[in-house]
Structure 1
Protein backbone atom coordinates (compact mmCIF):
# COMPACT_ATOMS: atom_id res chain seq x y z
CA UNK A 1 0.00 0.00 0.00
CA UNK A 2 2.94 2.30 0.59
CA UNK A 3 5.42 3.07 -2.13
CA UNK A 4 8.18 4.11 0.26
CA UNK A 5 11.36 2.07 0.11
CA UNK A 6 12.73 0.61 3.33
CA UNK A 7 15.68 2.56 4.69
CA UNK A 8 17.78 2.35 7.78
CA UNK A 9 17.03 4.67 10.66
CA UNK A 10 19.58 7.31 11.56
CA UNK A 11 21.87 5.77 14.15
CA UNK A 12 21.63 8.78 16.44
CA UNK A 13 17.86 8.49 16.93
CA UNK A 14 16.81 7.48 20.40
CA UNK A 15 14.03 5.02 21.13
CA UNK A 16 11.43 7.72 21.73
CA UNK A 17 12.18 9.42 18.45
CA UNK A 18 11.90 6.14 16.59
CA UNK A 19 8.55 5.36 18.21
CA UNK A 20 7.27 8.79 17.21
CA UNK A 21 8.47 8.16 13.66
CA UNK A 22 6.61 4.85 13.53
CA UNK A 23 3.49 6.34 15.12
CA UNK A 24 3.41 9.14 12.53
CA UNK A 25 3.73 6.62 9.69
CA UNK A 26 0.99 4.46 11.17
CA UNK A 27 -1.33 7.46 11.44
CA UNK A 28 -0.90 8.24 7.76
CA UNK A 29 -1.65 4.63 6.77
CA UNK A 30 -4.59 4.11 9.13
CA UNK A 31 -6.16 7.33 7.87
CA UNK A 32 -5.59 6.37 4.23
CA UNK A 33 -6.42 2.66 4.26
CA UNK A 34 -8.12 1.93 7.56
CA UNK A 35 -6.97 -0.44 10.29
CA UNK A 36 -7.71 -3.82 8.73
CA UNK A 37 -6.04 -3.08 5.40
CA UNK A 38 -2.85 -1.78 6.99
CA UNK A 39 -0.23 -4.41 7.83
CA UNK A 40 2.90 -4.28 9.98
CA UNK A 41 4.95 -4.56 6.78
CA UNK A 42 3.16 -1.49 5.41
CA UNK A 43 3.95 0.44 8.61
CA UNK A 44 7.62 -0.57 8.52
CA UNK A 45 7.95 0.58 4.90
CA UNK A 46 6.12 3.85 5.52
CA UNK A 47 8.27 4.58 8.57
CA UNK A 48 11.47 3.65 6.74
CA UNK A 49 12.51 1.01 9.28
CA UNK A 50 13.30 -2.67 9.10
CA UNK A 51 10.52 -5.07 10.02
CA UNK A 52 12.70 -6.38 12.84
CA UNK A 53 13.08 -2.84 14.19
CA UNK A 54 9.32 -2.39 14.21
CA UNK A 55 8.88 -5.58 16.25
CA UNK A 56 11.65 -4.48 18.58
CA UNK A 57 9.33 -1.71 19.79
CA UNK A 58 5.87 -3.21 19.24
CA UNK A 59 4.36 -6.66 19.70
CA UNK A 60 1.85 -6.10 16.91
CA UNK A 61 -0.47 -3.72 15.13
CA UNK A 62 -2.63 -3.15 18.21
CA UNK A 63 0.39 -1.79 20.07
CA UNK A 64 1.26 0.48 17.14
CA UNK A 65 -2.30 1.78 17.09
CA UNK A 66 -2.21 2.62 20.79
CA UNK A 67 1.16 4.36 20.40
CA UNK A 68 -0.23 6.32 17.46
CA UNK A 69 -3.13 7.60 19.60
CA UNK A 70 -0.80 8.52 22.45
CA UNK A 71 1.43 10.44 20.05
CA UNK A 72 -1.56 12.30 18.59
CA UNK A 73 -2.75 13.16 22.09
CA UNK A 74 0.64 14.71 22.82
CA UNK A 75 0.42 16.95 19.76
CA UNK A 76 -3.17 17.90 20.54
CA UNK A 77 -2.27 18.76 24.13
CA UNK A 78 0.42 21.14 22.91
CA UNK A 79 -2.04 22.88 20.59
CA UNK A 80 -4.66 23.12 23.35
CA UNK A 81 -2.10 24.73 25.65
CA UNK A 82 -1.27 27.26 22.94
CA UNK A 83 -4.98 28.01 22.40
CA UNK A 84 -5.52 28.78 26.08
CA UNK A 85 -2.43 30.97 26.19
CA UNK A 86 -3.77 33.19 23.40
CA UNK A 87 -5.57 36.29 24.72
CA UNK A 88 -9.06 37.12 23.55
CA UNK A 89 -12.73 36.98 24.53
CA UNK A 90 -14.09 33.75 25.97
CA UNK A 91 -16.04 32.77 22.85
CA UNK A 92 -12.94 33.13 20.69
CA UNK A 93 -10.76 31.12 23.07
CA UNK A 94 -13.39 28.38 23.37
CA UNK A 95 -13.54 28.07 19.58
CA UNK A 96 -9.73 27.95 19.44
CA UNK A 97 -9.68 25.18 22.05
CA UNK A 98 -12.25 23.11 20.17
CA UNK A 99 -10.32 23.55 16.94
CA UNK A 100 -7.04 22.62 18.66
CA UNK A 101 -8.49 19.42 20.11
CA UNK A 102 -11.33 18.13 17.95
CA UNK A 103 -10.20 19.86 14.77
CA UNK A 104 -6.64 18.54 14.97
CA UNK A 105 -7.84 14.99 15.55
CA UNK A 106 -10.32 15.19 12.70
CA UNK A 107 -7.71 16.53 10.31
CA UNK A 108 -5.38 13.67 11.22
CA UNK A 109 -7.91 11.02 10.23
CA UNK A 110 -9.88 12.73 7.48
CA UNK A 111 -7.59 11.70 4.59
CA UNK A 112 -9.73 8.62 3.96
CA UNK A 113 -13.22 7.33 4.67
CA UNK A 114 -12.38 5.17 7.67
CA UNK A 115 -13.49 7.25 10.65
CA UNK A 116 -16.18 4.77 11.63
CA UNK A 117 -13.84 1.79 11.52
CA UNK A 118 -11.07 3.60 13.39
CA UNK A 119 -13.43 4.77 16.14
CA UNK A 120 -14.60 1.17 16.59
CA UNK A 121 -10.98 0.03 16.83
CA UNK A 122 -10.26 2.74 19.40
CA UNK A 123 -13.10 1.51 21.59
CA UNK A 124 -12.13 -2.14 21.16
CA UNK A 125 -8.37 -2.05 21.76
CA UNK A 126 -7.39 1.44 22.88
CA UNK A 127 -9.89 2.38 25.56
CA UNK A 128 -7.25 3.81 27.89
CA UNK A 129 -5.71 5.97 25.15
CA UNK A 130 -9.14 7.16 23.99
CA UNK A 131 -10.09 8.06 27.56
CA UNK A 132 -6.84 9.98 27.97
CA UNK A 133 -7.47 11.85 24.73
CA UNK A 134 -10.96 12.87 25.87
CA UNK A 135 -9.63 13.80 29.31
CA UNK A 136 -7.24 16.24 27.65
CA UNK A 137 -10.16 18.27 26.33
CA UNK A 138 -12.05 18.08 29.63
CA UNK A 139 -9.04 19.37 31.55
CA UNK A 140 -8.39 22.35 29.28
CA UNK A 141 -12.08 23.21 28.94
CA UNK A 142 -12.51 23.14 32.71
CA UNK A 143 -9.55 25.48 33.04
CA UNK A 144 -10.88 27.88 30.41
CA UNK A 145 -14.37 28.07 31.93
CA UNK A 146 -12.95 28.50 35.44
CA UNK A 147 -10.62 31.32 34.37
CA UNK A 148 -13.38 33.18 32.53
CA UNK A 149 -15.77 32.76 35.47
CA UNK A 150 -13.14 34.01 37.91
CA UNK A 151 -12.66 37.22 35.94
CA UNK A 152 -16.41 37.76 35.68
CA UNK A 153 -16.49 37.30 31.92
CA UNK A 154 -19.01 34.46 32.09
CA UNK A 155 -21.50 33.05 34.58
CA UNK A 156 -21.62 29.26 34.32
CA UNK A 157 -24.84 29.11 36.37
CA UNK A 158 -26.68 30.97 33.59
CA UNK A 159 -26.64 27.80 31.50
CA UNK A 160 -28.64 25.94 34.12
CA UNK A 161 -26.17 23.05 33.90
CA UNK A 162 -23.17 21.98 35.97
CA UNK A 163 -19.82 22.67 34.33
CA UNK A 164 -19.05 18.98 33.84
CA UNK A 165 -22.35 18.51 32.01
CA UNK A 166 -21.65 21.52 29.80
CA UNK A 167 -18.27 20.12 28.81
CA UNK A 168 -19.61 16.61 28.20
CA UNK A 169 -22.38 18.04 26.01
CA UNK A 170 -19.84 20.04 24.00
CA UNK A 171 -17.86 16.87 23.38
CA UNK A 172 -20.97 15.04 22.17
CA UNK A 173 -21.80 17.97 19.89
CA UNK A 174 -18.27 17.93 18.43
CA UNK A 175 -18.54 14.19 17.81
CA UNK A 176 -21.98 14.53 16.24
CA UNK A 177 -20.73 17.24 13.87
CA UNK A 178 -18.63 14.60 12.06
CA UNK A 179 -21.40 12.19 11.21
CA UNK A 180 -23.64 11.92 8.18
CA UNK A 181 -21.81 12.78 4.99
CA UNK A 182 -18.22 13.33 6.10
CA UNK A 183 -17.49 17.08 6.12
CA UNK A 184 -14.31 18.61 4.81
CA UNK A 185 -11.81 19.83 7.39
CA UNK A 186 -12.87 23.41 6.65
CA UNK A 187 -16.56 22.60 7.13
CA UNK A 188 -15.85 20.72 10.35
CA UNK A 189 -13.96 23.71 11.75
CA UNK A 190 -16.92 25.93 10.89
CA UNK A 191 -19.21 23.55 12.79
CA UNK A 192 -16.87 23.61 15.79
CA UNK A 193 -16.92 27.41 15.82
CA UNK A 194 -20.72 27.35 15.70
CA UNK A 195 -20.84 24.92 18.63
CA UNK A 196 -18.45 27.13 20.58
CA UNK A 197 -20.61 30.19 19.86
CA UNK A 198 -23.72 28.44 21.20
CA UNK A 199 -22.04 27.35 24.43
CA UNK A 200 -20.38 30.73 24.92
CA UNK A 201 -23.78 32.40 24.56
CA UNK A 202 -25.24 30.00 27.12
CA UNK A 203 -22.88 31.28 29.82
CA UNK A 204 -22.57 34.92 28.69
CA UNK A 205 -23.34 37.45 31.39
CA UNK A 206 -26.18 39.86 30.88
CA UNK A 207 -25.06 43.18 29.40
CA UNK A 208 -26.01 46.12 31.66
CA UNK A 209 -28.66 48.32 29.99
CA UNK A 210 -26.37 51.37 30.00
CA UNK A 211 -23.72 49.41 28.06
CA UNK A 212 -26.07 48.40 25.25
Structure 2
Protein backbone atom coordinates (compact mmCIF):
# COMPACT_ATOMS: atom_id res chain seq x y z
CA UNK A 1 0.00 0.00 0.00
CA UNK A 2 1.23 3.49 -0.84
CA UNK A 3 2.30 5.85 1.93
CA UNK A 4 -0.31 8.34 3.11
CA UNK A 5 0.63 11.65 1.56
CA UNK A 6 -2.30 13.63 2.91
CA UNK A 7 -0.02 16.02 4.80
CA UNK A 8 1.91 16.69 1.61
CA UNK A 9 -1.35 17.38 -0.24
CA UNK A 10 -2.42 19.79 2.50
CA UNK A 11 0.97 21.53 2.43
CA UNK A 12 0.65 21.94 -1.33
CA UNK A 13 -2.90 23.21 -0.86
CA UNK A 14 -1.65 25.79 1.67
CA UNK A 15 0.97 27.06 -0.76
CA UNK A 16 -1.56 27.31 -3.59
CA UNK A 17 -4.13 29.04 -1.40
CA UNK A 18 -1.53 31.54 -0.20
CA UNK A 19 -0.80 32.43 -3.83
CA UNK A 20 -4.18 32.21 -5.52
CA UNK A 21 -6.90 32.03 -2.86
CA UNK A 22 -9.66 29.46 -2.64
CA UNK A 23 -11.62 30.58 -5.69
CA UNK A 24 -8.67 30.54 -8.11
CA UNK A 25 -6.90 27.43 -6.79
CA UNK A 26 -7.67 24.28 -8.74
CA UNK A 27 -6.97 20.62 -8.18
CA UNK A 28 -4.56 20.89 -11.11
CA UNK A 29 -2.66 23.60 -9.19
CA UNK A 30 -2.41 21.38 -6.12
CA UNK A 31 -1.28 18.40 -8.21
CA UNK A 32 1.29 20.49 -10.06
CA UNK A 33 2.58 21.87 -6.73
CA UNK A 34 3.10 18.28 -5.55
CA UNK A 35 4.55 17.05 -8.83
CA UNK A 36 1.89 14.37 -9.20
CA UNK A 37 -1.21 13.79 -11.28
CA UNK A 38 -4.59 15.20 -10.34
CA UNK A 39 -6.00 11.67 -10.08
CA UNK A 40 -3.25 10.82 -7.57
CA UNK A 41 -4.25 13.81 -5.42
CA UNK A 42 -7.83 12.52 -5.40
CA UNK A 43 -6.59 9.50 -3.46
CA UNK A 44 -6.10 11.80 -0.47
CA UNK A 45 -8.84 14.44 -0.79
CA UNK A 46 -12.29 14.29 -2.38
CA UNK A 47 -12.02 17.70 -4.04
CA UNK A 48 -10.63 21.19 -3.55
CA UNK A 49 -13.22 22.05 -0.91
CA UNK A 50 -12.26 18.94 1.07
CA UNK A 51 -8.59 19.90 0.83
CA UNK A 52 -9.38 23.41 2.10
CA UNK A 53 -11.46 22.09 5.01
CA UNK A 54 -8.82 19.51 5.96
CA UNK A 55 -6.11 22.17 5.86
CA UNK A 56 -8.16 24.55 8.00
CA UNK A 57 -8.93 21.75 10.46
CA UNK A 58 -5.25 20.81 10.66
CA UNK A 59 -4.16 24.40 11.35
CA UNK A 60 -6.85 24.88 13.99
CA UNK A 61 -6.17 21.49 15.61
CA UNK A 62 -2.47 22.27 15.91
CA UNK A 63 -3.26 25.58 17.59
CA UNK A 64 -5.84 23.90 19.82
CA UNK A 65 -3.27 21.37 21.02
CA UNK A 66 -0.92 24.22 21.99
CA UNK A 67 -3.76 25.92 23.85
CA UNK A 68 -4.62 22.71 25.72
CA UNK A 69 -1.02 22.33 26.87
CA UNK A 70 -1.05 25.91 28.15
CA UNK A 71 -4.40 25.48 29.89
CA UNK A 72 -3.31 22.31 31.66
CA UNK A 73 -0.12 23.78 33.08
CA UNK A 74 0.46 24.28 36.77
CA UNK A 75 1.45 27.89 36.33
CA UNK A 76 -0.14 31.17 37.41
CA UNK A 77 -3.42 32.11 35.73
CA UNK A 78 -1.84 34.84 33.61
CA UNK A 79 0.62 32.33 32.14
CA UNK A 80 -2.16 29.94 31.19
CA UNK A 81 -4.37 32.69 29.75
CA UNK A 82 -1.41 34.02 27.78
CA UNK A 83 -0.63 30.52 26.47
CA UNK A 84 -4.21 29.93 25.35
CA UNK A 85 -4.43 33.31 23.64
CA UNK A 86 -0.99 32.84 22.08
CA UNK A 87 -2.25 29.73 20.29
CA UNK A 88 -4.88 31.85 18.54
CA UNK A 89 -2.38 34.64 17.97
CA UNK A 90 0.12 32.25 16.38
CA UNK A 91 -2.60 30.95 14.08
CA UNK A 92 -3.64 34.46 13.09
CA UNK A 93 -0.10 35.76 12.56
CA UNK A 94 1.64 32.58 11.37
CA UNK A 95 3.28 32.04 8.00
CA UNK A 96 0.00 31.72 6.09
CA UNK A 97 -1.33 34.93 7.62
CA UNK A 98 0.93 37.01 5.36
CA UNK A 99 -1.18 35.93 2.42
CA UNK A 100 -4.07 38.17 1.41
CA UNK A 101 -6.10 34.95 1.29
CA UNK A 102 -5.56 33.88 4.93
CA UNK A 103 -9.10 34.84 5.92
CA UNK A 104 -10.42 32.10 3.66
CA UNK A 105 -9.04 29.58 6.17
CA UNK A 106 -8.91 31.53 9.41
CA UNK A 107 -12.03 33.70 9.51
CA UNK A 108 -15.25 32.63 11.19
CA UNK A 109 -17.17 34.05 8.23
CA UNK A 110 -15.29 31.98 5.64
CA UNK A 111 -17.62 29.94 3.46
CA UNK A 112 -15.71 26.66 3.56
CA UNK A 113 -14.11 26.74 6.98
CA UNK A 114 -16.06 29.21 9.10
CA UNK A 115 -17.56 26.42 11.20
CA UNK A 116 -14.08 25.07 11.97
CA UNK A 117 -12.98 28.56 13.06
CA UNK A 118 -16.09 29.06 15.21
CA UNK A 119 -15.62 25.66 16.89
CA UNK A 120 -11.98 26.53 17.59
CA UNK A 121 -12.95 29.84 19.18
CA UNK A 122 -15.65 28.13 21.26
CA UNK A 123 -13.10 25.63 22.56
CA UNK A 124 -10.67 28.42 23.47
CA UNK A 125 -13.49 30.25 25.23
CA UNK A 126 -14.31 27.10 27.22
CA UNK A 127 -10.64 26.65 28.18
CA UNK A 128 -10.32 30.26 29.29
CA UNK A 129 -13.57 29.98 31.25
CA UNK A 130 -12.25 26.88 33.01
CA UNK A 131 -9.00 28.63 33.90
CA UNK A 132 -10.87 31.64 35.31
CA UNK A 133 -13.28 29.34 37.17
CA UNK A 134 -10.31 28.14 39.23
CA UNK A 135 -9.83 31.69 40.54
CA UNK A 136 -11.90 34.15 42.48
CA UNK A 137 -13.01 35.96 39.29
CA UNK A 138 -16.76 36.51 39.78
CA UNK A 139 -17.90 35.74 36.20
CA UNK A 140 -15.39 33.41 34.51
CA UNK A 141 -17.29 33.27 31.20
CA UNK A 142 -17.30 37.05 30.91
CA UNK A 143 -13.61 37.17 31.79
CA UNK A 144 -12.89 34.65 29.03
CA UNK A 145 -14.86 36.66 26.47
CA UNK A 146 -13.07 39.85 27.50
CA UNK A 147 -9.68 38.21 26.97
CA UNK A 148 -10.64 36.86 23.54
CA UNK A 149 -12.03 40.25 22.50
CA UNK A 150 -8.84 41.89 23.72
CA UNK A 151 -6.77 39.54 21.56
CA UNK A 152 -8.92 40.16 18.49
CA UNK A 153 -8.46 43.89 19.04
CA UNK A 154 -4.69 43.53 19.29
CA UNK A 155 -4.59 41.45 16.11
CA UNK A 156 -6.82 43.98 14.32
CA UNK A 157 -4.58 46.90 15.26
CA UNK A 158 -1.38 44.95 14.57
CA UNK A 159 -0.21 45.55 18.16
CA UNK A 160 0.23 41.91 19.12
CA UNK A 161 3.43 42.66 21.03
CA UNK A 162 1.13 44.08 23.71
CA UNK A 163 -0.47 40.70 24.44
CA UNK A 164 1.65 39.90 27.49
CA UNK A 165 1.09 43.22 29.32
CA UNK A 166 -2.56 43.21 28.23
CA UNK A 167 -3.06 39.75 29.75
CA UNK A 168 -1.34 40.85 32.97
CA UNK A 169 -3.59 43.90 33.21
CA UNK A 170 -6.75 42.01 32.28
CA UNK A 171 -6.21 39.11 34.66
CA UNK A 172 -5.35 41.44 37.50
CA UNK A 173 -8.21 43.84 36.67
CA UNK A 174 -10.73 41.01 36.47
CA UNK A 175 -10.08 40.26 40.10
CA UNK A 176 -7.98 37.11 39.95
CA UNK A 177 -5.70 36.50 42.91
CA UNK A 178 -2.32 38.21 43.06
CA UNK A 179 -0.26 35.19 41.97
CA UNK A 180 -1.05 35.98 38.34
CA UNK A 181 1.90 38.14 37.34
CA UNK A 182 4.51 36.87 34.95
CA UNK A 183 7.83 36.17 36.55
CA UNK A 184 9.87 36.62 33.38
CA UNK A 185 9.59 38.61 30.21
CA UNK A 186 10.35 35.57 28.00
CA UNK A 187 7.67 33.61 26.21
Alignment TM-score > 0.5, same fold:
yes
Residue by residue over 1:136-173, the C-alpha shift from the partner in whole angstroms, topping out at 9 and shown as x without a partner, is 312321232233x2xxxxx211xxxx322332232233
1:33-112 paired onto structure 2 within 5 Å: 33-112=20-99
Tell me the CA shift for residue 48 of structure 1: 4.5
Structure 1 length as normaliser, TM-score? 0.68
Residue 87 to residue 33, structure 1, CA distance change in 2 (3 Å): farther
Quickly say closer, same or farther: Cα 1:49–1:191, change in 2 above 3 A. Answer: farther
Q: Is residue 180 of structure 2 the alignment partner of residue 199 of structure 1?
A: no
Given the superposition, is the C-alpha separation of residues 195 and 61 from structure 1 closer, same or farther in structure 2, using an over 3 Å criterion? Answer: farther
Change (3 A) 1:36 1:192: farther
| Residue segments in structure 1 that go unaligned for 5+ positions in a row | 1-10, 150-154, 208-212
Residue segments in structure 2 that go unaligned for 5+ positions in a row: 179-187
Q: Higher relative contact order by CA 8 Å / sep ≥ 6: 1 or 2?
A: 1
Following the alignment from structure 1 to structure 2, what is the Cα–Cα distance between the partners of residues 205 and 129? 31
Runs of 4+ with deviation above 6 angstroms: none
Is the Cα–Cα contact under 8 Å of residues 33 and 112 in structure 1 kept in the other structure? Answer: no
Q: Contact 2:14/2:55 (CA < 8 Å) preserved in 1?
A: yes
Contact 1:21 1:47 in 2 (8 A): yes
1:139 corresponds to which residue?
A: 126
Contact 2:26 2:48 in 1 (8 A): yes
1:173 aligns with 2:150: yes
Aligned partner of residue 56 in structure 1, secondary structure = coil
Q: CA deviation at 1:75?
A: 0.9
